Each structure stands twice: as structure tokens, then as C-alpha cells.
Chain A
């Protein structure tokens, strides 16, 4: 009953829609818009999160003060922050990015904070003895130890941000994948939904293969 129907289109049908979407430029455009939001939201969340995470990991007093807030922000539903951002700041691009950042930030902070707490004190003492200074210590002693935590935050973060961005777009933007998916839902166009999903997964795989894997390989080349 479902075969060859609109509910479960054949791979050929999906491929056809995918191809038409690519040729018309619609699919690359909306995918590109979503990717831009992803890059913006992700970069801001990672930079801020790493900085705050390192500070909290090194400073017990600040950590004790912010610990509860962190748990609260970790557990506020994404939908709530998105709606509030739109209500308070209007249906604008910066509100959309801000909503993404607020959702991702606590995650990065917690991961990097745990990493900072696990830093090897012996190596830090060695760096102090040999007068490494702040910059050398950060680059050569602290950062390599945080690498697994940063990569963890990156991978789980990309997955989380994708999902949030689509909701952000669905609720308050007039372009991007989330907006398109909403449109297809109303038209009951399952083939298009699947075509966009395939494009989506392909991009994620490319990011993993072309950016994350080489980064891992370079950073971990010292391991036996």
C-alpha cells in the first residue's frame, strides 16, 4: 500500500527531486544559508565556551558560583530559548544565531571545564619552572590535553546545532532548510523532505572527513 506512494517515494523519485533541487539552485541556496548559520553559531559557542570552560576549570570560586546556573541553562528546552529570543529581539538573524549559541554554550562549557580539571599538574609545574609564560603554556601544555574534549564538544555540538537551527528556521526565518522542510510538510512532499535530508547527511559526512578526521590525525600523531 505504501510502495510507490507519496508517503514512501522510491529512491529514483528522491534522486529526481534532489537533482531538480540542485539544478534550480533552491537546494544549494537553502543548505548554504543553514550552513552559514551553523558556522556562525558554532564558532561563537565554541570560542566563548572554551574560554569560559578553561576559566571555570581553573578557578574554584567562580566555578562554585556558576555551577548551578550552568545546570539550569543545560536543561532549559531549546524551544523556550528560541521563542524567547524571537519575542525579545524580533524575528531577525542575530536573534536566531543568539538562540543557537545559548543552546550550545553550556554544553561546551561543561565539557571543556571537565577537561581543564583533568589537566596534568606535573606538566603545569614543569612549565612554571621553565618560565613558559601564559601563551606557551596554553599552546603547548594545556591545549593538547584539551584536544580530545574539544573534539568531543565539536562533534556532539555539530549534531546538536543542526537540529536546533532547523527549529530556529522553522519558527522565524524565511529561508534555510528548516523553513523549506516546514513548507514540504504542509505540502506533504515526502520526496523533497528525504532529498533535503540526504543532502544534509552528505554535508555532515564531508565535514567529518575533510575537517575533523585530518585535525584528529594531526593532533594525535605523537601517539604510538
Chain B
């Protein structure tokens, strides 16, 4: 896996007076789980869309290794964006490349506890289940970067926790570079190797912090909470971003 360098000098929407993103530099180490934390509306979705190649109206460059190219991505959107007229399995299969074997789907379904539901249409799934399908689809394509745009935002706390744990389990089995957007600091600490805090209008990286908590300790609410307190004390600049 190659490292990825993101360099956005300017992104301004045609109707806006000031840029949404200015001089943003991010470097992603391979197989690193990075959480982008910032206030709502600061342009996190815009950033992910640029990396995904959905939005090409910006100044800057994206480097995969030494090459100017868009990385191969898996994208978990805020809404799962499953095709309602295709079953769970078909939705995942459609995302695969032609030369990819569908066997990978079976393994992923099993980890995410969805083997039973694979032939069901998405309308019959609960919110938590459809999020899990979207996560499987993103892992199935074996991406260079996995983009996740607040995927748990509309879930209740226990369901969010369950899906989060399944996500981490899957990621530990199949390590990938992850860019996970959230505005929930506890969620970010529970998930990330590295936290990047973003400011709004224009979006800039304010702090870049390694989370020192061991993976085995991530389920421990106390450890999460004490690190959060410590963070807010040592980095007063991030308070206004939450």
C-alpha cells in the first residue's frame, strides 16, 4: 500500500464569496485509521467528494505514491445509498471489479453478521443493518482509501456502538487506510489512530494528534473519556471546533 498525499490549495463554490477549503494538506500513512473532526458545515463532505473524484472543481493535487491520480476508494456515505431494487448481496456484487471474485463477500457478510440477510431487499433492513451493508460494500472493493462520512450519525447509541465495534473488527482483519469524518469526539477517539481537527470557512487543519490508547482498551468508556478531558485541556484550540 502506498501513502497518499492530499494538497488542496483552493476550493471555492461558484456562488460563494470565500473559499470552503484553503491550503489544506493531509498525508495519510497506509493502513492508518484517521478521524477528521470538525464542526458541521465546515466542508468535510466536500473534502471527501474531492478525494473520491466526484468534485473536480478545485485547485490542488492528490498524490498516490508518486503518481498524480485519484486513489481507488470505497465510500460509506451518510445515507447508505443502497439500490433499493437490488438485494444486499447484489448491491455489494455490483461494486466489485469484473476480475474480483465474489467469494470475498461471503467472508465480509459473516464478520458483519449479515449472512442471513444477504438475499433481502434494503427496504426490509434496519438502519444499523443497511449501514453495515454499506461498510461491506466499501471494504469489498479493496480500496486504497476508505472514506466514511459520519456513517453512524442517525443511529441510536447502542446500535452505533455495535456497528462501530464490527467496523473495527473488520478493519483489524483487513487493514485499510481510513478517512472517517465525524463531529463526535468520543466516537473519534474510540476509532482513530490519529485525529485531525478541522476549522470552518475556510477549512484548515488545526491540530494533528495521535491517539495513544491501545486497541484492546478502546471499548473502555473511562479510558476514552479521560483521554478526551486531557485533549481538551492540552489543546484549547479544539474546543471551539466541537
Contact = CB atoms under 8 A, between A and B. Distances in A.
Interface in B63-96: 73-75, 77, 79, 81, 83-86, 94-95
B83 A140 contact: yes
Given A129-B54, A132-B94, A222-B121, A122 B83 contact: no
A10 B130 CA distance: 62
A123 B83 contact: yes
A130 B94 contact: yes
Contact of A131 (B49, B97, B121, B137): B97
Chain B interface bracket (under 10, 10 to 19, 20 to 34, 35 or more): 20 to 34
B53 A128 contact: yes
B123 interface: yes
Contact of A122 (B81, B97, B137): B81
A223 B77 contact: no
Among A123, A125, A128, A222, chain B packs the most CB atoms within 10 A around the CB of A222
B123 A223 contact: yes
A160 interface: no
B238 interface: no
Interface residues of A, number: 17
A222 B85 contact: yes
B191 to A, nearest CB: 22
Contacts, number: 44
A219 B84 CA distance: 11
A131 B74 CA distance: 10
A136 interface: yes
B75 A126 contact: yes
B52 interface: yes
Interface string B200-213: 00000000000000
The 10 closest A-B pairs by CB, nearest first: A130-B95, A222-B121, A126-B81, A144-B85, A222-B85, A129-B75, A224-B123, A129-B52, A122-B81, A125-B54
Given A125-B49, A140-B86, 9 more contacts: A126-B77, A128-B53, A130-B74, A130-B75, A130-B95, A130-B141, A140-B94, A222-B121, A224-B124
21 contacts: A122-B79, A122-B81, A123-B81, A125-B81, A126-B75, A126-B81, A128-B54, A129-B52, A129-B53, A129-B73, A129-B75, A130-B74, A130-B94, A130-B137, A130-B141, A132-B94, A144-B83, A222-B86, A223-B123, A224-B123, A224-B124
